[in-house]
Structure 1
Amino acid sequence: MGACKKEDGNWFSPGPIIVGAGPSGLAVAACLQENGVSSVVLERTDCIASLWQKRTYDRLKLHLPKQFCQLPLLDFPENFPKYPTKHQFVSYMESYAKHFGIEPRFNQSVSRAEFDSVTGFWRVETQDFRYFSKWLIVASGENAEPVVPEIQGMDKFQGPVMHTSVYKSGSEFQNQRVLVVGCGNSGMEVSLDLCSHNAIPHMVVRNSVHVLPREMFGISTFTIAMTLLKFFPLKLVDKFLLLVANFTLGNTDKLNLRRPKTGPLELKNATGKTPVLDVGALSQIKSCRIKVMEGVKEITQKGARFTDGQENEFDSIILATGYRSNVPAWLKACNFLTLTVLSLYGIPFFTKDGIPKSPFPNGWKGGNGLYAVGFTRRGLLGISSDAVNIAKDVTDQWRIIKGL
């Protein structure tokens, strides 16, 4: 796949260059391949789906039912459970790449990509080569780099500090007092995992958060939400979800988990902030096995001081503080005059945070053959939508160029 012509260390691709061999890159490569369009997939690590393989904890499962997480053109195996494990998902990714003959060029870290307005080609540079193509598809994702916050005194702490990207299991923390900074899905699940290994997690909840049951009436909450949105306004669906959540989970405000004033779906659409789907952490919070703490004011040598005046000692700190895009680090403008990072409408395509400015479903196409897949803040379902749209658009251009 991706037959390139090499000249003096330069590779010329007849099809698109895809940066990233995660689910996003594989999905768009498969859709292109199905339409007879070759591509070159560049991956900075030595494997596909490296975030899943190298930066996720052992207990991780898909948060949504598998039918919402499969990629275009190939379903999950029928014998997979409703919520596949991370290992099952990785095996599906590997089978997916093999099925479509996708062979990424591994250990190719893109340091710079820019559009040449004279030649009409993208030049993509790695540590080894320069690649050229009329199309560049950014598939490096929203979660390319861990976010490590600056907390006063962090350098003074005498114990280990790690991001969840390197956390594997609570077995390393038995009988330890652990400060978990962050209360999203990762923070909740890591805290739950620590409990199951007899650690004592203290989870920092700085802002408001929506916690919903993963299932309602035996059906996934996501399935119910998607079904109701076909018939009712978003705000009404939000009210229903919160009504059921309060009935099944209780008033989370009493647990120091304050709900935002904006409903969970409306908030997700506006900010990309995903509601927490509870898989057991809430019961541990109710039983005080997971202790909820307010914001951290300062890290000390042996622990932390909190905004409510409390001070506690901890053996370890785990940062469940999420990830960010790395697009601004390598996608460059050219001569300050071209439309390299502009959309079709003349506005910047990517924000300073490396996310397409146009909201879903219009954030997949920029100008000069620039595309983005996997930046919808809608998970694997959004990836599939982007991949199909991009493949169709590129294929139409490809056929004109080839005279088909």
Structure 2
Amino acid sequence: MTQRTDVAVIGGGQSGLAAGYHLRRLGLEFVILDAQTAPGGAWQHTWDSLHLFSPAAYSSLPGRLMPLQEGEVYPDAGHVVSYLADYEKRYELPVQRGVWVDAVHRDGPFLRVETDNGAWQARAVISATGTWTRPFLPAVPGRREFAGRRLHTVQYRSPAEFAGQRVIVVGGGNSGAQIAADLAGAAELTWVTQRPPRYLADDIDGRALFDHATARRRALDEGRTDTGGVASLGDIVAVPPVRAARDAGLLTAAPMFSRLTEDGVAWADGKTAHADAIIWCTGFRPALAHFASLRLRGARGHIATEGTRAVDEPRLHLLGYGDWTGPASATLIGVGRPARDAAREIAVLLADAAA
């Protein structure tokens, strides 16, 4: 059976909900198709100790401030899940759960969204699938030889399962630093980074990062000099657990190894390290396989966009994948503005089509 709507939103995490909020305010008919069986998006699958690096008031979706979490300056992931579930209920957003989108095709005046539970014809589509389901693992020599346990960020939960083990954490970003700090003291830790760790100043948190990303986008839009964005400030936000482990001397990074061995890793200078487990905190790629038939993807798997709108398919908007779809759009506070802009553009598109 094929159903019809003005807008199909693919993904019911923070970006999909922000899109739904603005579509509802504009009076558009829409549906949110989410593969998850419960509210909360990727936040319900993170490691146990994860906290935001912004206070609750600076981690909110449009229209609804995140409430404070008792005893916490920076809310934990469970608090975020509860907030997203409440947000979805408060605004009565039409989320259909447990629906996996297989493909999107052009279908005359519609985009046809094929799912494992039927199809939808939509006059516009917002893709808000994020990156969590597409972890990136680098092609390191010897990866087939290593006999120990291999994990990515998405599979890590707590240090308890690694107590007393030799663990190598790979990655010099926020996830790598936070997981290394989580394991310090519980495991025999080796932290490996591509370049020496670059910590942001201790007083910088998500509020400043959002402001910096927004200022950079404004400068680029006005033809002024590129400020370098958040990356110019550093790679690691010194959240309290990271700061404590760093200051205690527990976060000393080694340079990237050259290959894996059967029982660990080896460097080009002949040094080796044994490992029971390697945790790859090496980032993600955008989850956009459902657009394969539209043939829109270019370098690094990105789809060329103007704002959130796909350049080669104006009925498609991409939301929450990073700065290329809006400054800080992969964050809770940052997704609101590009979600508003996408909804407004779609409203104009539909009005023009009706006229």
Tell me the TM-score normalised to structure 2 length. 0.85
Residue pair 1:161, 1:317 contacting (<8 A) in 2 also = yes
Shift of 1:32: 0.8
Q: Report what 2:199 is aligned to.
A: 211
CA distance in structure 1 between the aligned counterparts of 2:82 and 2:177, rounded to whole angstroms:
26
Residue pair 1:44, 1:106 contacting (<8 A) in 2 also = yes
Shift of 1:285: 4.5
CA distance in structure 1 between the aligned counterparts of 2:271 and 2:31, rounded to whole angstroms:
54
What are the Cα deviations for residues 205-233 of structure 1, in whole angstroms up to 9, with x where unaligned?
A: 113543113426xxx47438838997xx9
More divergent stretch after superposition (288-297 vs 198-207): 288-297
CA distance in structure 2 between the aligned counterparts of 1:221 and 1:90, rounded to whole angstroms:
18
Residue pair 2:57, 2:67 contacting (<8 A) in 1 also = no
More divergent stretch after superposition (187-196 vs 366-375): 366-375
**Residue identity opposite 2:268 in structure 1:** T
Shift of 1:86: 0.5
Q: Report what 1:121 is aligned to.
A: 110
More divergent stretch after superposition (310-319 vs 43-52): 43-52
Shift of 1:161: 1.0
Partner of residue 294 from structure 1, selected from 255, 262, 265: 255
Q: Alignment partner of 2:81: what SS?
A: helix
Q: Alignment partner of 2:21: what SS?
A: helix
Residue pair 2:132, 2:154 contacting (<8 A) in 1 also = no
Residue pair 1:213, 1:221 contacting (<8 A) in 2 also = no
Partner of residue 108 from structure 1, selected from 93, 99, 112: 99
How many residue pairs were aligned? 338
Are 2:132 and 1:161 equivalent residues in the alignment?
no
| Rg larger for | 1
Residues 146-225 of structure 1 aligned to structure 2 (within 5 Å): 146-196=135-185, 198-215=186-203, 220=205, 222-223=207-208
Shift of 1:11: 1.6
Residues 233-312 of structure 1 aligned to structure 2 (within 5 Å): 266=228, 268=230, 275-279=235-239, 280-281=241-242, 284-285=245-246, 287-312=248-273
Q: Alignment partner of 1:51: what SS?
A: helix
Residue pair 1:18, 1:139 contacting (<8 A) in 2 also = yes
Residue pair 1:215, 1:221 contacting (<8 A) in 2 also = no
Shift of 1:374: 0.8
What are the Cα deviations for residues 181-208 of structure 1, in whole angstroms up to 9, with x where unaligned?
A: 1121011011111115x21211111135
CA distance in structure 1 between the aligned counterparts of 2:29 and 2:77, rounded to whole angstroms:
29
Are 2:315 and 1:363 equivalent residues in the alignment?
no
CA distance in structure 2 between the aligned counterparts of 1:401 and 1:305, rounded to whole angstroms:
61
Partner of residue 390 from structure 1, selected from 342, 346, 349: 342
What are the Cα deviations for residues 161-181 of structure 1, in whole angstroms up to 9, with x where unaligned?
A: 111101110011111111001
Q: Report what 1:42 is aligned to.
A: 33
Q: Alignment partner of 1:53: what SS?
A: helix
Unaligned runs of 5+ in 1: 1-8, 235-262, 335-339, 342-349
Are 2:3 and 1:11 equivalent residues in the alignment?
yes
CA distance in structure 2 between the aligned counterparts of 1:295 and 1:214, rounded to whole angstroms:
25
Distance 1:302-1:58 versus aligned 2 partners, 3 A rule: same
Residue pair 2:212, 2:229 contacting (<8 A) in 1 also = no
Shift of 1:402: 6.8
**Residue identity opposite 1:89 in structure 2:** V
Over the matched positions of the two proteins, sequence identity in percent amounts to 24
CA distance in structure 1 between the aligned counterparts of 2:234 and 2:68, rounded to whole angstroms:
28
CA distance in structure 2 between the aligned counterparts of 1:205 and 1:45, rounded to whole angstroms:
33
Tell me the TM-score normalised to structure 1 length. 0.75
CA distance in structure 1 between the aligned counterparts of 2:7 and 2:17, rounded to whole angstroms:
13
CA distance in structure 1 between the aligned counterparts of 2:266 and 2:354, rounded to whole angstroms:
65
Distance 1:396-1:164 versus aligned 2 partners, 3 A rule: same
Distance 1:368-1:90 versus aligned 2 partners, 3 A rule: same
Q: Report what 1:73 is aligned to.
A: 63
Shift of 1:73: 1.0
Distance 1:368-1:16 versus aligned 2 partners, 3 A rule: same
Q: Report what 1:91 is aligned to.
A: 82
Computed over aligned residues only, the root mean square deviation of the Cα atoms, in angstroms, reads 2.9
Partner of residue 31 from structure 1, selected from 2, 22, 29: 22
Residue pair 1:376, 1:383 contacting (<8 A) in 2 also = no
Distance 1:227-1:363 versus aligned 2 partners, 3 A rule: closer
Residue pair 1:295, 1:307 contacting (<8 A) in 2 also = no
Distance 1:302-1:282 versus aligned 2 partners, 3 A rule: farther
Shift of 1:154: 2.0
Q: Report what 2:223 is aligned to.
A: none
Distance 1:131-1:296 versus aligned 2 partners, 3 A rule: same
Q: Alignment partner of 2:57: what SS?
A: helix
Q: Alignment partner of 1:296: what SS?
A: coil
Shift of 1:393: 2.1
Residue pair 1:40, 1:104 contacting (<8 A) in 2 also = yes
Shift of 1:356: 4.3
